[in-house]
Amino acid sequence: MTAVPDPTEPLAGWANTAPTPATVLRPQDVDELAAALDRPSPRGVVARGLGRSYGDPAQNAGGLVALTTGVSGIHHLDLEAGLVTAEAGTSIDALIRWLVPLGWFVPVTPGTRQVTVGGAIASDVHGKNHHKVGSWCDAVEALTIVTPAGGRQQITPASHPDLFWATAGGMGLTGIILDATIRLTRVRTSLLSVDTDRTPDLDTTLDLMESGDHAYDYSVAWIDLMARGAAVGRSILDRGRFADPEQLSDRQRRDPLGFRSGSLATFPDLAPTSLITRTTVRAFNEVWYRKAPRRRRDHLQTISQFFHPLDMVDRWNRVYGPRGLLQWQCAVPPDATDDLRWIVQQISASGQPSFLAVLKRFGPGNAGPLSFPVEGWTLALDVPAGADPDLGQLLDRLDDRVVAAGGRLYLAKDSRLRPELLEAMYPRLDEWRKARDAADPDGRLASDLGRRLGLIG
C-alpha cells in the first residue's frame, strides 16, 4: 500500500512574496511542540510563531513547520524581581496586556506586538531602545530548548554560552525554543511622554539623534524617502520615555497603568494590485510630514500610538496587493554617515514608493554571531515587490555599499540577499555554524531561508 502524503499548506512571510508548501503541525502544549523534532521528514522541521518575519525563515518547502501559537501562556511571574517565564508561542501583545496593569513592560518591543517569544529570540529583535538596553536576548535570563543532539535542556548565557548565543538571532536553526524567562522593565504609567522634532533634511536628523538620543529611552525617526533636493532625508523624529504619574491628567491618573488596545480595522482582502504607487506615496508622505509638529515636547501617547501604530490596521500588508512587498533593513557603523546619506539619496533618486522608512540608533551588539544589531545606525524601508524591474539592481547596489561600510542586513526582513555577501556581513558565521552543527549534527532543522542563504548544508 502506498503511504498517503501529509497534506501541505502554502506558507509565506509577512511580505507575502514567496509562499511554499509545508506540512503544518499544530502542537497544543510544550511536549507536543518538542515532539515535532521527532517527526520523520526528509526536508526537516522549523518552528513558526506569528509569521511576522517578512521573508522565508519560518517556511520549509516540502518539510514540516511547527506552529507555536497553540503553546502559549505564562508559567511563572515574579513581580518583585520583574521576571516572567512564558511559553514560546506567547505573543508580546499578550505579555503587554497582562503585565502593564501590573506595572511591568517588555524589555524590548518591535514595531508590532504580534510577535511570539520564540520568534523574538530567534530574530533577537530590537526596538526603539537598542541604544539604551540592547536587544531582546540581552534580557533573556534562561530558555528551554529542544535540540536533536541535546534533547530538552534549560540553558542560560552562563551555562551554555555557545548554544544560547547561536540561538539568539539563529533564525530557528539551532533547536525549538519551548519557553523563556525574560527580565522586564518597570513602568509607573502606561503612557509615554514624547518629544517630536520635524527636521528639514537627513543631516539635521543625524545631528539631533547623535547629540540627543542618550537623553531618551526610546528614539525613532520616520524618513520621507520620496523627498528630493535639499529635503532629502527630511524626517519626523519621535523620542520619549514612559511618563511619570505626575504628568498625567486627573482623569488619566485614575487608571495610570490602564492598557486598552485593539485593531481599529482590518484591511480588506480586495486590492487587485498594489495601492502603493509613486503618486499615492508621494502625496501621503507630504501630508504625513506637514501634519507633524515642528517641535513638540512632553506629548502623552499610548503604547499603541508610540510603539505599534501599524497594529491598528490588521493585515495592513494587503495594501501592497497580491505581489506583496520587500522590506530592506541594514545596520551600519556609527561613522558610516556618508554611506547612510548615499543610501537615502539612491532610494530617493530612484523614486521607489516607500512610506514605511525608519531610522534608529543601535548601541553595542551582543555575543550572538547572527544577531543583527551592531553599534551605529539602522535604516528599514518597505517597497512594493514586482512593480519595478530595476528594484533588484538598486537593492543589490545598496547591499554592496552596506558590505563596504562594514554593515549587514537583517535576516528576519530579508528575502533576496545574495548568499555570497552573508559571510562579509556576519564575520562570525563559522562560529555560528559550529554551534549549530553541535546542536543539530544531522541537519534536522531546516528552513527556506537556511537553504537560500546557505546557512545550512
Ligand X SMILES: Cc1cc2nc3c(=O)[nH]c(=O)nc-3n(C[C@H](O)[C@H](O)[C@H](O)COP(=O)(O)OP(=O)(O)OC[C@H]3O[C@@H](n4cnc5c(N)ncnc54)[C@H](O)[C@@H]3O)c2cc1C
CB of 76 to ligand X, least distance (A): 18
Position among 27, 148, 172, 353 found at the interface with ligand X (CB under 6 A): 172
Contact between 325 and ligand X per CB under 6 A: no
Residue 432 Ramachandran class (φ > 0 left, ψ -120 to 50 alpha, else beta): alpha
Is residue 188 within 8 A of residue 344, CB to CB? The reply is: no
CB-nearer residue toward ligand X: 256 or 369: 369
**67-86: contacts with ligand X (CB under 6 A):** 68
Residues contacting 283, CB < 8 A, separation 6+: none
Contact between 366 and ligand X per CB under 6 A: no
Closest CA to 226 of 239, 235, 218, 217: 235
Position among 96, 176, 340, 383 found at the interface with ligand X (CB under 6 A): 176
Contact between 88 and ligand X per CB under 6 A: yes
Task: Give the cell for residue 127.
Answer: 526596538
Closest CA to 52 of 25, 92, 81: 92
Is residue 58 within 8 A of residue 172, CB to CB? The reply is: yes
Contact between 310 and ligand X per CB under 6 A: yes
**Binding-site residue total for ligand X (CB under 6 A)?**
32
CB-nearer residue toward ligand X: 110 or 134: 110
Contact between 119 and ligand X per CB under 6 A: yes
Position among 64, 122, 180, 340 found at the interface with ligand X (CB under 6 A): 122
CB-nearer residue toward ligand X: 127 or 233: 127
CB of 362 to ligand X, least distance (A): 11
Contact between 126 and ligand X per CB under 6 A: yes
Summary count for the chain: helices (H), strands (E): 14, 21
- What x-and-dash track marks residues 13-52 binding ligand X by CB under 6 A? -x-------------------------------xxxxxxx
Residue 236 in 3-state DSSP? strand
Position among 412, 425, 439, 446 found at the interface with ligand X (CB under 6 A): 412
CB-nearer residue toward ligand X: 125 or 232: 125
Q: CA end-to-end span of the chain, whole Å?
A: 33
Contact between 125 and ligand X per CB under 6 A: yes
CB of 93 to ligand X, least distance (A): 11
Contact between 452 and ligand X per CB under 6 A: no
Binding range to ligand X, per CB under 6 A, among 104-112, 155-163, 221-229, 290-298: 104-112
CB-nearer residue toward ligand X: 84 or 248: 84
Position among 44, 82, 118, 384 found at the interface with ligand X (CB under 6 A): 118
Residues contacting 339, CB < 8 A, separation 6+: 332, 401, 402, 404, 405, 407
**202-261: contacts with ligand X (CB under 6 A):** none
**255 phi/psi in degrees, rounded to 5:** -145, 70
* Residue 41, number of CB atoms within 10 A of its CB: 17
What is the spatial distance between Cα 105 and Cα 183, in angstroms, rounded to a whole number? Answer: 9
CB-nearer residue toward ligand X: 88 or 409: 88
Is residue 328 within 8 A of residue 380, CB to CB? The reply is: yes
Radius of gyration of the chain (CA): 21
Residue 392 in 3-state DSSP? helix
Contact between 363 and ligand X per CB under 6 A: no
What is the spatial distance between Cα 276 and Cα 354, in angstroms, rounded to a whole number? Answer: 8
CB-nearer residue toward ligand X: 107 or 256: 107
CB of 249 to ligand X, least distance (A): 30
Closest CA to 209 of 222, 194, 220, 193: 220
Q: Positive or negative, the Cα torsion across 156, 365, 431, 412? A: positive
Position among 37, 45, 106, 177 found at the interface with ligand X (CB under 6 A): 177
What is the spatial distance between Cα 84 and Cα 74, in angstroms, rounded to a whole number? Answer: 7
Give the footprint of ligand X on this chain (CB under 6 A). 14, 46-53, 57-58, 68, 88, 110-112, 115-116, 118-119, 122-123, 125-127, 171-172, 176-177, 310, 412, 447
